[in-house]
Structure 1
Amino acid sequence: MPPASTGASAATLPGALSQPSPDTTAESGADLRHRPGDRAFRRSNLALFAAGIATFVLLYSTQGLLPILSADLDLTPGQASWTASAATLGLALALLPASALSDRYGRTAVMTASMLAASALALALPFAPDLSTLVVLRILQGAALAGLPATAMAYLAEEVHPSALASAMGLYVAGNSIGGMGGRLASGWAAAAWGWRWGLATSAVLALLAALAFRLLIPAARHFRPAPVDGRALARTVSGHLRNPLLLRLYALGLLFMAVFGAVYNTVGYRLVSAPFNLPESVAASIFVVYLVGTASSASAGRLTGRLGRRGTLYVAIGVTAAGLLLSLADSLPCALLGLVLITAGFFAGHATASSSVGRTATTGRAQASALYLIAYYLGNSLGGTLGADAYHSVGWDGAAAVGLTAMTLAAGVTLYATRQAVHARRASTPRRSGAPARA
């Protein structure tokens, strides 16, 4: 997921709230979906875990290599960042079509084709002769990868018993997290030792092994029933969501939080290998271990929402992210690292809160509502990553931090507007006592 977050709920992905097919239950009334303890349940869990690893190893394979790419190909940070932004852009553009194809041709078929196509493109990446070829291949790779997030949760919802769905989805999201972090680390360490082409080759091999494991492990779908692709119905559903003010605000928040994440993680490697820190490239690549902070902050976001409400949690996430950006401005390695921890924690908490709210807000077409959130989310990564890298090239880390602070200021404005709308709605729905003056 950034990455897909470890705290992403079922509502984060298209199809996550799909209803089981009518044939899920046998005539006797017994539910035939996979349960804990079943061999098929274990296999489906491991298969989706491997799928999550493959997807996010590939999606962020160049992010840890950007300083090395810049040095080897004589690129500015903004130019090099396109190798990271291109993949998330391709993914965002292909999400809705991939979701529709899975409804027509089946979940396992689309997931398998998605991973094998993306892995084949990954094997071609190390041989790219120049930046333009690399960017085109990354766009195609991102589009190929769209079949996973658009389909995996739908497969689990159809094939796994509801009592075990949360744990199965949690394992899939854990694969996302491990793939996102592990892919950055493995490619970064390999590139530091042998060059960026070997870094990309390492990611390709890891993803291909995970894709093969998925194909060998995934049980055949027993409850999928193909449905024709109805373009008009899809367009009506999507346009309806885009006219929903609350959903639009959630989409904007996903975009803005991810813009911060893209701006920071596309440029932090450049900062760490430059003065005043001058860290070795292998050490700078290890900074992605901070990604694990998202596990704790995503989990705590749910508890915080129970105490402060959704908007209260968003204010906390925005404040923590902004505090981290401000702290990172100091030319002190402890401050820079602590700032990165706060930025990461705030981002994951904000993303988990916004994404989990989408499914609760959409009363119909939840799969498409979640797909639109992911589109905004990944577009935010592409936009923030590119703007942040350009700003870093122009004025240094202060520029990248300014991009992040601007995004958080806009997020605070969106949340404040939502708060005021909620207050007005409560006042309008509360009947006044007879003779009581109306409030302004």
Structure 2
Amino acid sequence: MTQKPLTNTLENKLTPEPSVVTGERIRTGTPAYWRATLALCLGSFMIFSNLYVTQPLLPMLASNFHISALSANWSFTIATLTLGLSLLFYGPLSDVFGRRGIMVVTMAGAILTTLLISQVHSYEWLLILRALQGLCLGGLPAIAVAYMGDEFDSHALITAVGFYIGANSLGGISGRLIGGFAGEHLGWSSTFMVIALISLVIWAGFIYLLPASSHFQARPFHPRQMFANLLEHLRNPMLLPAYLIGGFNFFVFINQYSYLTFVLEKAPYSLSTQVLGMLFLTYLTGTFGSTLAGRASRYLAQPLCMALGIVILMTGSLITLIPALPMIIVGLLINSLGFFFAHATASSWVSRNAHHARASASSLYLVFYYLGASTGGIYLHPFWRWQGWNGVIAGSLLILAGTLSTALFLYHRSRRASAAS
């Protein structure tokens, strides 16, 4: 498949793409497969590195703008909030206007807002721009798999999605590392300039590498049907518990990291911003947890796998209470394993138990997921002010006890449903 030069690639703008199907679908191992997969992986890396770059910078932002830990955390949570909400709309819009053009334009918007953030001098403007950035960052995650579904054959789709999901976590880890290293040596504003320049290079590579859509078929936009599907998913007793489990687990997991940065940057730990960024390497056990969840589901019912992941997450949280840096790191490694074990299982459960409109069912799961990330810091803040890190863990365990109960409830409900059928 030939690729148009960079100067001509923006013809896929926000006008409906043609619905003409031409040529064969992309097969595994072909040049087109590697170009498209690399492009989407690079795009995913860019999106999640921009989203998570602020997490190791939170103590620095709090000090620079003379704000509380909760206020500083909004620089992270406001972007996850708007990203999560945007996922409801980009998918249906891409059914009308096409996949590639929306991804290109929204990535450009994300880069522009990152550049603008590097120039602001008030925290209010930083939050406004992070909110706009979140709206732009939602474009690629909402559409990438749909693009692959259009253009790849079934075998190529499975392998490409695996690479793409791996790039998600790699981007999140790298964004935090870049934030930590650049923040330590250049300051917070220059960190956003660095991530913007890296993103600009990735965006150019994305445009050059990603083949134009050749199997996209435009469909009419039916907002009433879209909302009817979402409402039906929320009423489905097999789906709503999984949405709550995924959202509230992330509600706790991601915001523990945010508050822990404030613990570890002070005595007796006194970790630098650079080292705080490296703490997020503990996410790597999550890759193992996701893989392990698939294997465990062969032997245990999926709701029990969710419950097991939550118990592991609770165990890791308790271990972080031991006031020694090596034990805190061990606790974070266990946390990540348990969280992604439960998350992978819950996400798979939603896909298996949505009777129709599976794409919107999965999008709704991600909405709960990111809403959890954006609101957990507010919930944990009173516990933080009450007893510091001990309070954060106490508040976390209350929520995790609820998600554990929900997983066990889902297990019993699914058993009754199976017996009835």
Q: Same fold (TM over 0.5)?
A: yes
TM-score by length of 1: 0.88
Alignment of 1:114 with 2:106, yes or no, is: yes
1:405 and 1:190 map into 2 onto residues whose CA distance is: 34
Residue number among 41, 53, 57 corresponding to 2:33 in the alignment:
41
Alignment of 1:362 with 2:354, yes or no, is: yes
Residues 317 and 347, structure 1, Cα contact 8 Å, conserved in 2: yes
Give the equivalent residue in structure 1 for 2:297.
305
Residue number among 225, 228, 241 corresponding to 1:236 in the alignment:
228
Residue number among 155, 158, 161 corresponding to 1:166 in the alignment:
158
Give the equivalent residue in structure 2 for 1:191.
183
Give the equivalent residue in structure 2 for 1:12.
none
Q: How far did residue 393 of structure 1 move?
A: 4.1
Residues 67 and 269, structure 1, Cα contact 8 Å, conserved in 2: yes
Q: Deviations over 1:294-346 (max 9, x none)?
A: 11111111001112220221121011100011111111112211111111111
Secondary structure in structure 2 of the residue aligned to 1:364: coil
The residue type paired with residue 255 of structure 1 is G
Residue number among 125, 129, 137 corresponding to 2:117 in the alignment:
125
Of all paired residues, the percent bearing the same amino acid is: 36
1:63 and 1:388 map into 2 onto residues whose CA distance is: 16
2:19 and 2:349 map into 1 onto residues whose CA distance is: 27
Pair 1:172–1:181, CA change in 2 (3 A): same
The residue type paired with residue 155 of structure 2 is S
Q: Larger RCO: Structure 1 or Structure 2 (Cα < 8 Å, ≥ 6 residues apart)?
A: 1
Residues 269 and 285, structure 1, Cα contact 8 Å, conserved in 2: no
Q: How far did residue 388 of structure 1 move?
A: 2.9
Q: How far did residue 427 of structure 1 move?
A: 5.1
Secondary structure in structure 2 of the residue aligned to 1:396: helix
Residue number among 53, 77, 81 corresponding to 2:73 in the alignment:
81
Give the equivalent residue in structure 2 for 1:250.
242
Q: CA RMSD in A?
A: 1.7
Aligned length, in residue pairs: 404
Alignment of 1:92 with 2:78, yes or no, is: no
The residue type paired with residue 145 of structure 1 is L
Q: How far did residue 363 of structure 1 move?
A: 1.6
The residue type paired with residue 413 of structure 1 is S
Q: How far did residue 418 of structure 1 move?
A: 1.4
Unaligned runs of 5+ in 2: 1-17
Alignment of 1:280 with 2:272, yes or no, is: yes
Alignment of 1:324 with 2:324, yes or no, is: no
Secondary structure in structure 2 of the residue aligned to 1:320: helix
Residues 304 and 408, structure 2, Cα contact 8 Å, conserved in 1: no
Alignment of 1:102 with 2:94, yes or no, is: yes
Residue number among 152, 177, 202 corresponding to 2:144 in the alignment:
152
Give the equivalent residue in structure 2 for 1:402.
394
Give the equivalent residue in structure 2 for 1:227.
219
The residue type paired with residue 150 of structure 2 is E
Q: Deviations over 1:64-109 (max 9, x none)?
A: 1101111111111100000000001001111111111111111000
Q: How far did residue 385 of structure 1 move?
A: 2.9
Pair 1:122–1:98, CA change in 2 (3 A): same
1:295 and 1:385 map into 2 onto residues whose CA distance is: 25
1:387 and 1:201 map into 2 onto residues whose CA distance is: 32
TM-score by length of 2: 0.92
Q: How far did residue 271 of structure 1 move?
A: 1.4
1:390 and 1:194 map into 2 onto residues whose CA distance is: 33
User: 1:339-354 maps to which residues of 2 (within 5 A)?
Assistant: 339-354=331-346
1:217 and 1:22 map into 2 onto residues whose CA distance is: 22
Deviates more, 1:408-417 or 1:370-379: 408-417
Give the equivalent residue in structure 2 for 1:432.
none
Pair 1:52–1:390, CA change in 2 (3 A): farther
2:234 and 2:319 map into 1 onto residues whose CA distance is: 37
Residues 24 and 33, structure 1, Cα contact 8 Å, conserved in 2: no
Residues 59 and 142, structure 1, Cα contact 8 Å, conserved in 2: yes
Q: How far did residue 275 of structure 1 move?
A: 2.5
2:382 and 2:115 map into 1 onto residues whose CA distance is: 29
Q: Deviations over 1:10-31 (max 9, x none)?
A: xxxxxxxxxxx997697xxxxx
The residue type paired with residue 394 of structure 2 is A
Q: How far did residue 157 of structure 1 move?
A: 0.9
The residue type paired with residue 127 of structure 1 is Q
1:156 and 1:349 map into 2 onto residues whose CA distance is: 25
Residues 125 and 134, structure 1, Cα contact 8 Å, conserved in 2: yes
Residues 65 and 187, structure 1, Cα contact 8 Å, conserved in 2: yes
The residue type paired with residue 195 of structure 1 is G
Residues 19 and 216, structure 2, Cα contact 8 Å, conserved in 1: no
Deviates more, 1:135-144 or 1:274-283: 274-283
1:419 and 1:356 map into 2 onto residues whose CA distance is: 15
Residues 48 and 172, structure 2, Cα contact 8 Å, conserved in 1: yes
